[in-house]
Amino acid sequence: MAHLPDELVREILLRVTPDDPACLLRAAVVCKSWRRMLADPDFCCRHRELHPTPHVAGFLRIVSDAIPYSSRFESIDPTFRRPAARDLPGWLALDCRHGRALFATPAPVGGFPVVLDFIVWNPLTDERRRLPQPSPRPTAPPTGRSTDRPHFNAAVLCAATAEGCDHRGCHRGPFLVVFLFSTSTRTCALVYSSETDDWKYVTSTPGHNLYSVDNMPSPSVLVGDALYFRGSGNYHAFEYQVTTHRLSAIYRPQSASLMATADGEFHFATLLEDPLSLCLWSAEKVPSGFEQWVQARAFNLETLLPKDTLTPRFNVTGSMEGADIIFVIVYKYAHHRGDVYMVHLNSGKIKKVFEGYSYVFPYTSFCIPVIDEAYTGQEPREGVPNA
């Protein structure tokens, strides 16, 4: 290797995929020349052009049976500087996107209404920001039962999404939080801007509220400048346009999950039992001008999942935006809690990520620490990375 020209070494390192950051970490401690090469802005730009899909650095999930709420961040990236596993008691995971994670810390005040504090956390830098309380605040359902949850959900996203940001280095820039909550009469949308540090009431569904946001927050999906949220019933969801502030309820196939595929399209996803397969539904206009959902693609999961996991009990618990990756929980007859698998639909790769039912929020990032911060101008100690 010492006799290879730098140009050839650079071409070799450029072909190391982001899902194997440990390889780049080892390369960074070989010598100062290689470290400078990895930290060079031109190298970073070319590497991201060759590998447009961000790598999964970890997972955020809601801990089941935690009282009142608890979340857990689990890193799978050996170059990640945060702990491999981190418990976040009292934090309810709501979303994870563009290098940030969003949590709510609900606390009852005199029973009801429920006060919501939102926290935005950057797992890479451990920076956190507690947002001011939104106004108006969501209230619990009119039944007043202590077992009822308020119907709300929220999403975090880069503030430049509508301008076409590629999200390769915006994890420290301005961000927005879109907050949806339902009352007995309507569903409302509020937007927080980190630049103004304030909430703005933007829109609501007109008339009587026939549809409400799911009372157990589940992963939202961003496609272009449109955010999609799951509804509380089996047949509807919500679409919020970030640019126009338009909020509308849309119909969906029964018990379907939200998914954004690698081609930048929005789909609903359902699981079929015989054979075990994932079916994607796309919107298609009918002659009357309305849209209906039709089956677009199907993926046979029986060829992907381990044979001993194929049982009648399974569910989609999340997906990775723009990557054709889903998270499926499947139950063995002898184990009630089940196992969660990350399934790459196109390549057929599969990986067990954890046990126990939970909604899954993948933490993805274009920022590989060894590339973005490898060169510090100091000679590395032998075998010790400085990134």
Q: Bigger pLDDT: 191 or 340?
A: 191
Closest CA to 247 of 194, 218, 284, 211: 211
Mean pLDDT on 237-257: 88
18-43 pLDDT, tens digit per residue, is 766 678 778 888 888 888 888 887 88
The whole-angstrom separation of Cα 270 and Cα 362 is 20
Query: H-helix or E-strand containing 34?
Result: helix 32-39
According to DSSP, the β-strands at 221-223 and 360-365 are unpaired
- Calculated CA dihedral for residues 301, 216, 167, 41, nearest 10 degrees: -80
Mean pLDDT computed over every residue of the chain: 77
The whole-angstrom separation of Cα 71 and Cα 96 is 12
- Asked if pLDDT for residue 375 goes beyond 50, the answer is no
* Whole-angstrom Cα Rg for the chain: 22
Which pLDDT does position 99 carry in this prediction? Answer: 86
The whole-angstrom separation of Cα 59 and Cα 80 is 12
* CA end-to-end distance (rounded Å), the chain: 23
Closest CA to 66 of 90, 39, 40: 90
The whole-angstrom separation of Cα 64 and Cα 37 is 45
112-163 pLDDT, tens digit per residue, is 445 678 999 988 778 889 999 887 665 544 444 434 567 889 999 999 888 8
Ranges of each domain in the chain: 1-52, 53-372
Which pLDDT does position 111 carry in this prediction? Answer: 44
Which pLDDT does position 239 carry in this prediction? Answer: 92
258-309 pLDDT, tens digit per residue, is 988 878 888 898 888 777 788 888 888 767 666 788 888 888 888 887 766 6
Q: Which residues pair with 114 in a beta bridge?
A: 108
The whole-angstrom separation of Cα 95 and Cα 103 is 7
Topology given in CATH for the domain delimited by 53-372: Neuraminidase (2.120.10)
